[in-house]
Amino acid sequence: MKRVLVLGGGVGGTLAANLIARKLRRQVARGGAVVTVVDQTGNHTYQPGFMYIAMGNERAESLERPERRLLDKEVELVVGQVTRIDIARRLVELADGMRLAYDQLVLATGSRILPELVEHFDTEAHHFYSAEAALKLRRALDAFTGGRLVIGIAGMPYKCPPAPLEVAFLIESELRQRGLRDRTEIHFCSPIGRVFTIESVSEMAAPYFDQKGIEVHTFFNVEAIDPERKVVTSLEGEELAYDLLILVPPHKGAQLVTDAGLAPASGWLPTDRHTLQVKHLMPPGTPDAEVPRFPDIYALGDATDLPLSKAGSTAHFEAPVVAERVAAAVLGREPHARDASYTGKVMCFFEIGDGKGTLLQFDYDHPPKPPRPNQLWHLGKIVFNKTYWMTVPRGRV
Ligand SMILES: Cc1cc2nc3c(=O)[nH]c(=O)nc-3n(C[C@H](O)[C@H](O)[C@H](O)COP(=O)(O)OP(=O)(O)OC[C@H]3O[C@@H](n4cnc5c(N)ncnc54)[C@H](O)[C@@H]3O)c2cc1C
């Protein structure tokens, strides 16, 4: 019997497991294969909704579903925390002592936020990278009556690169509607030399910062927070005073994959950009062609080190490739050409404020050409948020 083990029941793990089980349906029915997802919570969270909790339009309860309900019945679910991956013996261990062997391993353990890496983050800064933090930010916005609002980024890479820009635009709209805009200065800090990493998106977004009177500070990599002076400082030596501070927290990959010797301290798994096989950890500077790939270990979603948005959409378009390659290995055939190679496809909606949005669609070879923001793309995002449960994790789009 062939055992396919998927670690993580988020977007990437859930979709990959469902697609693998569909490709191996006959083998699973005959007892020739088993597809298992291991997730530490047993609940699936729709994280893009956190931003809308902060904006007062969403409730945390609506953003969770039992993982079991999203998985095909052919997929087994084990609820528990994986504490060890033993590559040599091809097994994983769980916190309760359970051991699970694998023939094919899919790593979809996502990313972690680490606000604690910035001293005083917990008492001074707000964020919207968990339901709880987003609700706290909502309360702070409700209590805000004007002053200096600073929005920044305390570490790259982070989930959903457009999110801090979207939050800046949405809060600016809200403050205008509440009659507080004249009493508020809004500062946006970008760690690089423009407002967004991808040039075409930066060119689209920059005029909106001007139009909305949001002051942009480039090359502002958050270094420290001084709670006495209410000042945030950058590695580059700039200081900004705040009354309300919103920072994207530092992110890392799962500790588990670092401990297994699969990833460096950052936790981002070295991953082949096309096959999505995990690559051996090699000294920096080793030519990519000389880096061996694990034939039976794949990564997708936030967990990889690919130079792409850490987005649910990335995991969504990677999952068919992982599924096809894993199923082909189990069936002892070559992967079908159509899904054998990931092209770097990503597609994300981008809120501009005032009920407008745009769409970022790109791959390794084609940078995004965002359409002129309009109401349709904003509505597209809202509809997508609502229909997510019936579509993406179940593999229906
Ligand atoms: C505020 C915000 C806005 C966003 N907006 C968008 C957007 O508009 N569009 C978009 O595409 N994406 C967006 N994202 C990003 C998106 O949510 C993530 O990129 C996506 O969830 C990544 O999927 P994943 O499967 O890699 O990881 P996750 O969905 O995070 O799933 C990882 C799973 O692994 C489990 N796990 C981790 N470690 C272990 C372990 N040791 N043992 C067992 N289980 C474990 C976790 O419990 C979790 O269920 C947003 C995220 C945030 C926070």
Taking only the tens place, the pLDDT of each residue in 274-310 is: 999 999 999 989 999 999 999 999 999 999 999 999 9
Ligand 1 touching residue 311 (CB < 6 A): yes
Query: Number of helices and strands (H, E) in the chain?
Result: 11, 23
Nearest ligand 1 atom, CA 129: 53
| Distance between Cα 178 and ligand 1 center (Å) | 33
Q: Decide: 68 and 42 in contact? Cβ < 8 Å.
A: yes
Examine the pLDDT at 249 and tell me if it is beyond 90: yes
Euclidean distance between CA atoms 261 and 267, whole angstroms? 10
What percent of the chain clears pLDDT 90, i.e. is strictly above it? 99
| Distance between Cα 180 and ligand 1 center (Å) | 34
Altogether, the residues listed in the chain come to a count of 397
Euclidean distance between CA atoms 170 and 354, whole angstroms? 7
- Give the domain ranges of the chain: 2-110+254-339, 114-250
CA distance readout (Å), 303 to 128, 189, 230, 267, 393: 20, 26, 34, 7, 17
What percent of the chain clears pLDDT 70, i.e. is strictly above it? 100
Look at residue 309 in the predicted model and tell me its pLDDT.
95
Euclidean distance between CA atoms 157 and 139, whole angstroms? 27
**Angle at alpha carbon of residue 163, lines to 183 and 13, rounded to 5°:** 155
Euclidean distance between CA atoms 149 and 126, whole angstroms? 11
Which long-range contacts link 339-347 to residues 24+ away (Cβ below 8 Å)?
340/275, 341/274, 341/275, 342/273, 342/274, 342/275, 342/276, 342/317, 342/318, 343/274, 343/317, 344/273, 344/306, 344/308, 345/317, 346/308, 346/309, 346/311, 346/313, 346/314, 346/317, 347/313, 347/317
> Can you name the CATH fold of 2-110+254-339?
FAD/NAD(P)-binding domain (3.50.50)
| Contacts with 18 (C-beta within 8 Å, 6 or more apart), sequence order | 70, 71, 72, 75, 393, 394, 395
| Distance between Cα 226 and ligand 1 center (Å) | 31
Ligand 1 touching residue 357 (CB < 6 A): no
Among 5, 6, 7, 11, which residue has the most ligand 1 atoms within 8 Å of its CB, making it the best to mutate? 11
Q: Decide: 275 and 306 in contact? Cβ < 8 Å.
A: no
Euclidean distance between CA atoms 38 and 249, whole angstroms? 26
Q: How many CB atoms lie within 10 A of CB 82?
A: 24
Domain 114-250 CATH (choose: 3.30.365.10, 3.50.50.60, 1.20.1440.230, 3.40.50.10490): 3.50.50.60
pLDDT confidence band for 396 (50 / 70 / 90) = confident
Q: Decide: 166 and 246 in contact? Cβ < 8 Å.
A: no
| Distance between Cα 13 and ligand 1 center (Å) | 10
Nearest ligand 1 atom, CA 347: 11
Q: pLDDT of 112-166, one tens digit each?
A: 999 999 999 999 999 999 999 999 999 999 999 999 999 999 999 999 999 999 9
Nearest ligand 1 atom, CA 311: 19
How many Cα atoms sit within 13 Å of 342 on the Cβ side?
28
Q: Decide: 70 and 17 in contact? Cβ < 8 Å.
A: no
Nearest ligand 1 atom, CA 110: 27
Ligand 1 touching residue 49 (CB < 6 A): no
Q: pLDDT of 39-86, one tens digit each?
A: 999 999 999 999 999 999 999 999 999 999 999 999 999 999 999 999
**H helices of the chain, where?**
11-23, 25-29, 49-54, 67-70, 121-124, 131-143, 163-177, 199-211, 255-259, 312-331, 375-387
Ligand 1 touching residue 16 (CB < 6 A): no
Look at residue 140 in the predicted model and tell me its pLDDT.
98
Ligand 1 touching residue 82 (CB < 6 A): yes
By CB atoms closer than 10 A (0-12, 13-18, 19+), residue 24 is buried
Nearest ligand 1 atom, CA 13: 25
Residue of the CA atom closest to atom 37 of ligand 1: 109
Same fold across 2-110+254-339 and 114-250: yes
Q: What's the mean per-residue pLDDT of the chain? A: 97
| Distance between Cα 112 and ligand 1 center (Å) | 9
pLDDT confidence band for 397 (50 / 70 / 90) = confident
Look at residue 360 in the predicted model and tell me its pLDDT.
97
Euclidean distance between CA atoms 310 and 108, whole angstroms? 12
| Distance between Cα 9 and ligand 1 center (Å) | 9
Among 114, 302, 391, which residue has the most ligand 1 atoms within 8 Å of its CB, making it the best to mutate? 302
| Distance between Cα 109 and ligand 1 center (Å) | 8
Look at residue 260 in the predicted model and tell me its pLDDT.
97
